[in-house]
Amino acid sequence: MKIFYNEAHAQHHGRHEMFRGELVPCFEVPARADYVLQELNARKFGSIASAPEVPRTVLERIHAPRYLDFLAGAWNEWVALDPRNAERDAIPSYWPIRTFRTDVLPASFFARMGLFSFDAGSPITAGTWDAARRGADCAVAGARALLAGERAAFALTRPPGHHAGHDFFGGYCFLNNAAIAAQVLRDAGLQKVAVLDLDYHHGNGTQAIFYERGDVFFASVHGNPHTEYPYYLGYADETGSGAGAGCNLNLPLPRGTGFAAWREALAQALAAIRGFGAEAIVLSLGVDTFEGDPISGFGLRSDDYLRVGEALARTGLPMLFVFEGGYAVAEVGRNTVNVLEGFEML
C-alpha cells in the first residue's frame, strides 16, 4: 500500500474552537496524524512518501475560485487588521442564513469568513492554507497511485476534509480531499466512482458536492443528524436529485450503536456500491466511531477495525483511504492502522 504523508499538517494547529457555547482547546490536533505515522512506522507498514504539488486547477474542479482565494489569503488579511491577531486564531462569528445574499462578495474580512463557513469550530491559523493545500496533494497522489495500478493507497493528512463543501469550510475541514480525489479518478477516465464515508459525523460537504451527479455514488454510515453534528444533513431520505437521483445513500445510526449493527450498515453500503458498478472507492476514514472518542457516540473497539478492513478488501475494488476524524488521540494510530492492516490481510 502506498502511503502519502502531509509533512506540513502541523502548520495547522488551532488554539481554540467554539464547542457547545464555550471556547475550548481544539479537538483536532497535530498529534492525531503523528500517532498514525508512529503506528505505521512501528508496524513497518508500507512505503511512506510525500506528494508532488498539483496545480490549483485540480482544486477548482471541486472548489469555487473565490473560496480558494479567500483561504489562500485569509491569514495575512487577519493579521493585517491588527498585528495582535498573529497571536490568536480567526474564528467566524457572522453567517448569511436564509434570505441573506451570498452572490455579493463583501469587502469585510469578517463577513467573507462567515460567507465561506458554517460553524465556529474551525479556526484559521497561520498555516491552515499550507496544511490543507498539501493535504489535497496527498489525496491526488493517492488517486493517481490507483490509476497506476496500485490496489490501495492511504492519504495521511490533516486537517480533515469531508465537511468542506464547494465554497465553505467547517467541521475542522477546509478542502475536501476525498471529493478532489474522486474527481481526479473521474477525470482520468473512470466512469463510476464511489465515496464511502465511515466517519461518525456525516460528510455533508462530500454529499453536497456530488448530490446532483450520477457518476459518483456517495454512501455514509454515521450518527443520526437528528441529534449529532452536522445536524442539517445526513438523513436517510436524502437520496440524490436530478442526474444524481438514487446515487446518495445515508445510513444514520443512533448514539450507542455497537459494532454488530454498525457492521450491518457497512454491508448495506458496500452492497449499494457494488450495485452502482463503481470502479474504485475513495474511503473517508474516520475512526471517531471508537468507543472512547470524546465527541462521538458509537461503540467500536480497536479489534473491530481489523474486521472493517477485511470487509473493505472483499469488495475487490481499488481503494484510496483518506484520513478524516478520530479524537481519542492516543488510540487513533492503532485504530487507523488496524483498518489498513485488515485490508492488507486479504
Task: Give catalytic residues, as residue numbers.
Answer: 163
The grid coordinates listed for 138 are 496527498
Phi, psi of 95 (to 5 degrees): -140, 140
The cell for 91 is 474564528
d(CA 118, CA 164): 9
Q: Which of 165, 188, 122 is nearest to 320 (CA)?
A: 188
DSSP 22: E
Instruction: State the DSSP code for 18.
Output: E
Contacts of 279 (CB under 8 A, 6+ apart): 185, 190, 191, 192, 193, 317, 318
The owner of cell 484559521 is 124
Query: How far does Cα 317 stand from its chain's mean position?
Result: 20
Pure H helices in the chain: 31-42, 56-59, 65-81, 109-115, 128-147, 177-187, 204-210, 259-276, 304-313, 329-345
Contact by Cβ (8 Å): 209, 240: no
The total of other beta-carbon atoms located within 10 Å of residue 199's CB is 24
> Comparing C-alpha atoms, which of 187, 259, 199 is closest to residue 218?
199
Cα separation, 155 vs 142, in Å, equals: 6
| Residue 26 · residue 16 · CB < 8 Å | yes
